[in-house]
Amino acid sequence: MRDAHALLDHLTTEILAQKEAGTYKVEHQLEGPQGASVQVDGRSIVMLTSNNYLGLADHPKVRDAARKAIDEWGFGMASVRFICGTQTLHLELERRIAEFFETDDAILYTSCWNANEALFAATLTAEDAVFSDELNHASIIDGIRLCKANRYRYPHDDLDALAEMLEEDESRHRMVVTDGVFSMEGKLAQLDELVATCRQHGALLVVDDSHATGVLGARGRGTAEELGVHGQIDIVTGTLGKAMGGAAGGFVAGPQSVIDTLRQRSRPYLFSNSLPPMIVNASLAAFDLLDESPALVARLRENTRFFRTELESRGFDVPRGVHPVVPVIVGETALAIQMSKELLDEGVYVSGFGYPVVPHGEARLRAQISAAHTREELEQAVAAIERVGQRHGVATP
């Protein structure tokens, strides 16, 4: 007789092993809103590990828009979009996103995870192929697993290898998919080159620009704007859960035929609830804020430049870049985790990442800068990283 509860024992053993190995993830509780500084254990801590790039997660105009939508449009939709879950607001936000990326149309999902899960299965069949950068986000990997197309993983950022694979493949229709920004590194995909490669080999280019929407480019249009190819990406997926308000929501922006197909066929759209009106309206407010105040993107860039320069001048190993994800390489995984703990004691909330999320020997603190950080907050963070770094002999002045 087999014991159904044996699974529970098995899971408990695995969790215990994770705790012993120090890999069990512990969640610190924020005792107030997300912001440039947050309240943890009754103390104010500089937040260096959220995706609140523009500081809109607690912006008064975004809060007001959410509150107003609850009053005027209600709390929830109690439906999927195609049954009775589409309000005027949803269509307005979709138009806004399409204009933003200069595509024909856009479609909302409740997360970018859902958007990536939707795209490939709805548009590609077993006769087709998808080519994915090996370091793409988990949601792209899972989204591709759900489709029947031939799957190719190209070595990270290796466009020669990609071109060779495209050359050899004989599938009917092809898509190439990449993160716009690889978030462990803050490294940009070479979208200018990718546009050319895809054109040359007759493939559609899909970019998940979750970490760059509202962040990169003079107008915050993303990685493509930063690299001079705005409006030339065939299909863009992205999130409303980072710079653009930070609550939730995702989208696909692209050609009419793709968006129409997704509305008709994509499973997360057909079988999962509509985005609540308060989030839709607050996201519209976030797009307004971005367009009305270019200073937001400029401040984010200046804060990032300041933080990177200060750390570099103190001898830290900070890979070059322009993105507000600022990795500080410390070497071993245990050290990154230990430094992250000590930094919390020092009043700075920054995550430590190690193997297998990043290669062996390249464990790091990953700081994420926001337009909302004041100079004092950034100086406080740099001073704390310097103290903790010196304690462990990390920086080489």
Ligand X SMILES: Cc1ncc(COP(=O)(O)O)c(C=O)c1O
Q: Which residues contact 254 (CB under 8 A, 6 or more apart)?
A: 103, 104, 105, 106, 234, 235, 236
Q: Which residues contact 181 (CB under 8 A, 6 or more apart)?
A: 187, 188, 189, 209, 210, 211, 212, 215, 216, 223, 323, 325
From residue 107, how far is each of 70, 136, 349 by CA, in Å? Answer: 22, 22, 35
Name which of residues 134 to 173 contact ligand X (CB under 6 A). 137, 139
CB of residue 208 to ligand X, shortest distance in Å: 5
The yes or no reply on residue 266 touching ligand X (CB under 6 A) is no
Which of these segments, 3-11, 28-36, 95-103, 110-118, binds ligand X (CB under 6 A)?
110-118
What sections of the chain are H helices per DSSP?
A: 6-21, 60-73, 88-101, 112-123, 138-145, 159-168, 191-201, 223-226, 256-265, 267-270, 277-292, 295-313, 333-345, 375-391
CB of residue 242 to ligand X, shortest distance in Å: 7
DSSP state of 51: -
The yes or no reply on residue 52 touching ligand X (CB under 6 A) is no
Query: What span, in angstroms and rounded, lies between the C-alpha atoms of 272 and 113?
Result: 13
| Binding-residue pattern over the window 315 to 354 for ligand X, x denoting contact by CB under 6 A | ----------------------------------------
Task: Indicate the SS3 state at residue 77.
Answer: coil
The yes or no reply on residue 368 touching ligand X (CB under 6 A) is no
Q: Examine the residue annotation and report whether 148 is marked as an active-site residue of this protein.
A: no
CB of residue 113 to ligand X, shortest distance in Å: 3
**From the candidates 37, 50, 183, 266, which is the catalytic residue?**
183
Query: What span, in angstroms and rounded, lies between the C-alpha atoms of 326 and 135?
Result: 18
The yes or no reply on residue 389 touching ligand X (CB under 6 A) is no
Count of residues near ligand X by CB under 6 A: 13
| Binding-residue pattern over the window 246 to 265 for ligand X, x denoting contact by CB under 6 A | ----x---------------
Which of these segments, 109-117, 151-159, 253-261, 367-375, binds ligand X (CB under 6 A)?
109-117
Give the chain's radius of gyration (CA, Å): 22
Shorter beta-carbon distance to ligand X: residue 123 or 380: 123
Show the tokens assigned to 263: 């509305």
Query: What span, in angstroms and rounded, lies between the C-alpha atoms of 52 and 194?
Result: 28
Q: According to CB under 6 A, which one of 53, 100, 101, 113 is a site residue for ligand X?
A: 113
Which of these segments, 108-116, 124-132, 220-228, 280-288, binds ligand X (CB under 6 A)?
108-116
The yes or no reply on residue 87 touching ligand X (CB under 6 A) is no
Q: Examine the residue annotation and report whether 25 is marked as an active-site residue of this protein.
A: no
Counts for the chain of helices (H) and strands (E), in that order: 14, 15
Task: Indicate the SS3 state at residue 220.
Answer: coil
**From the candidates 59, 90, 137, 211, which is the catalytic residue?**
211
Which of these segments, 90-98, 195-203, 204-212, 339-347, binds ligand X (CB under 6 A)?
204-212
| Binding-residue pattern over the window 229 to 248 for ligand X, x denoting contact by CB under 6 A | ----------x-x-------
Task: Give the type of residue at 395.
Answer: A
Q: Examine the residue annotation and report whether 242 is marked as an active-site residue of this protein.
A: yes
Shorter beta-carbon distance to ligand X: residue 241 or 389: 241
Query: What span, in angstroms and rounded, lies between the C-alpha atoms of 270 and 266?
Result: 6
Under 8 Å between Cβ of 354 and 184? no
Residues that bind ligand X (CB under 6 A): 111-113, 137, 139, 179, 183, 208, 210-211, 239, 241, 250
- Which residues participate in catalysis according to the annotation? 183, 211, 242
